[in-house]
């Protein structure tokens, strides 16, 4: 079994190292960004040369985004198509609205475009992130054949609370009550404010709800922005255009 490991925080980040250690005994290849790429989403390094830099046995750093890492690994670096791609372990949960911005989720999404089973793994932080439980769960999922359970063209988004989870819940993506605020600095510049998980508009069944209750969350995600049937009013309006 061949597993591709990737993240969005960089080749030397402790969450990735914890995942590598947990999966020792399996055949793995690690291909990760050389620099921090949180919030990169599905972005590509289209306008720069991509370098692939060896970083130890079975490890490569790429001067690009998490999606670049998956693309170049699948097309150039791997000896064959992997059985599974795991992206993580991210220090900070990737829930609700944030799955659209997350480089961690994006890397797994890219793998699903290639019909390679994939999952993103993240842990909510409270102070210094603790990757132990997420690493143990990742190993357990691999041992129990998660690559055979993921539907073709889909991916799993796995999130754990700080510390030991009370259990696992199958969830759907939620939404935050309010977004991360901006902080304005004396020079007129802005940065994003401190992250704080605050809950969802929905009250049951969401990933955010599970984490706030101390449970781990597993969501099945489709990589496509699937079209839904148009409301009659919108369909009638569209028909007036041609």
d(CA 114, CA 192): 34
d(CA 181, CA 198): 12
CB 182 within 8 A of CB 191: yes
pLDDT per residue, tens digit, the chain (242 aa), is: 999 999 999 999 999 999 999 999 999 999 999 999 988 999 999 988 999 999 999 999 999 999 999 999 999 999 999 999 999 999 999 998 889 999 999 999 999 999 999 999 999 988 888 999 999 999 999 999 999 999 888 899 999 999 899 999 999 888 765 566 778 889 888 887 666 666 555 557 889 889 989 999 999 998 775 555 667 776 787 778 76
pLDDT, tens only, 145-180:
999 999 888 899 999 999 899 999 999 888 765 566
Closest alpha carbon to 113 in 148, 158, 144, 67? 67
pLDDT of residue 127: 80
Q: What's this model's pTM, rounded to 2 decimal places?
A: 0.90
d(CA 218, CA 234): 34
Q: CB-based burial of residue 73 (10 Å sphere; 0-12 exposed, 13-18 middle, 19+ buried)?
A: buried
pLDDT of residue 225: 56
CB 194 within 8 A of CB 229: no
Closest alpha carbon to 103 in 59, 74, 69, 136? 69
Element (H, E) at 184: strand 182-184
DSSP 76: I
Using left for φ > 0, alpha for ψ between -120 and 50, and beta otherwise, residue 222 falls in beta
| Pairing of the two strands 118-123 and 190-192 | unpaired
pLDDT of residue 191: 81
118: three-class secondary structure by DSSP: strand
CATH class, range 2-239:
alpha beta
Closest alpha carbon to 23 in 154, 166, 150, 146? 146
- Domain positions in the chain are 2-239
């Amino acid at each position: 079994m061949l597993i591709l490991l990737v993240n969005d925080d960089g080749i030397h980040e402790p969450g990735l190292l914890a995942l590598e250690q947990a999966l020792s005994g399996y055949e793995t290849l690690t291909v990760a960004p050389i620099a921090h790429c949180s919030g990169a989403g599905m972005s590509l390094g289209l306008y720069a040369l991509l370098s692939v830099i060896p970083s130890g046995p079975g490890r490569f750093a790429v001067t690009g985004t998490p999606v670049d890492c998956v693309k170049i690994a699948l097309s150039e670096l791997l000896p064959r198509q992997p059985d599974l791609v795991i992206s993580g372990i991210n220090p900070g949960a990737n829930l609700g609205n944030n799955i659209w911005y997350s480089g961690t989720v994006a890397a797994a999404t890219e793998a699903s475009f290639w019909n390679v089973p994939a999952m993103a793994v993240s842990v909510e932080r409270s102070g210094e992130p603790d990757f132990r439980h997420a690493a143990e769960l990742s190993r357990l999922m691999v041992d129990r054949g998660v690559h055979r359970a993921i539907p073709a063209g889909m991916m799993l988004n796995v999130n754990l609370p700080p510390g030991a989870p009370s259990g696992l819940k199958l969830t759907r993506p939620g939404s935050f009550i309010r977004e991360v605020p901006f902080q304005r600095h004396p020079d007129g510049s802005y940065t994003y404010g401190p992250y704080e998980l605050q809950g969802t508009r929905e009250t049951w069944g969401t990933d955010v709800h599970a984490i706030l209750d101390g449970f781990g969350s597993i969501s099945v995600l489709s990589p496509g922005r699937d079209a839904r049937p148009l409301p009659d009013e919108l369909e009638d309006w569209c028909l007036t255009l041609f």
